[in-house]
Amino acid sequence: MFSGLLKTSFWFSVIFLASIFSSTATAQWYSSGGTSESVSSISVSLVDNAKDACWTNLREVREYAEEKLRLKRYNVVADDGDYTFEISVGAFRDNQGWCVYSHQISIEAVTLRDNVFGFHNIGRSGAWGVNKANTNKSIISIIQSMIAEM
């Protein structure tokens, strides 16, 4: 009986740990004031601080974000939009081969209001997670979720 309990406890622990280590913790916010009508132009910018092949689909991510923004009727420009949709990823492999990563996506503009320069932020998403392969699917999924809110 005791050995059966140990086996059950062992598999429960394995399933529990697998669900923790293959998931992502995410926080997301988007302002309803950042409509395609109020944002005159937007450009997509990538910041790649990933190592060890933990983020390999940068071109796909940029093209995906640009296309989804266009479908939402945003005026996407190549460089220097009034707003920037910035996707920043930091990642590395630990000694067990897992990609440990964090991302931050922000939609913001540098503005001048009342003679003060500042940032007008209309969206932000941040997450961390671990994944055995890489962060590619996770980053696409997070971008999809964020743009769906826009």
- Domains in the chain: boundaries: 24-149
SS3 126: strand
Q: What is the average pLDDT across 82-94? A: 95
Across 109-120, average pLDDT = 79
Domain 24-149 classified CATH 3.30.160.670? Answer: yes
The pLDDT, as a whole number, for residue 25 is 53
CA distance 143 to 61: 8
pTM of the model: 0.77
- Residues sharing a CB contact under 8 Å with residue 71, sequence separation 6 or more, in sequence order: none
The residue-averaged pLDDT of 69-94 equals: 95
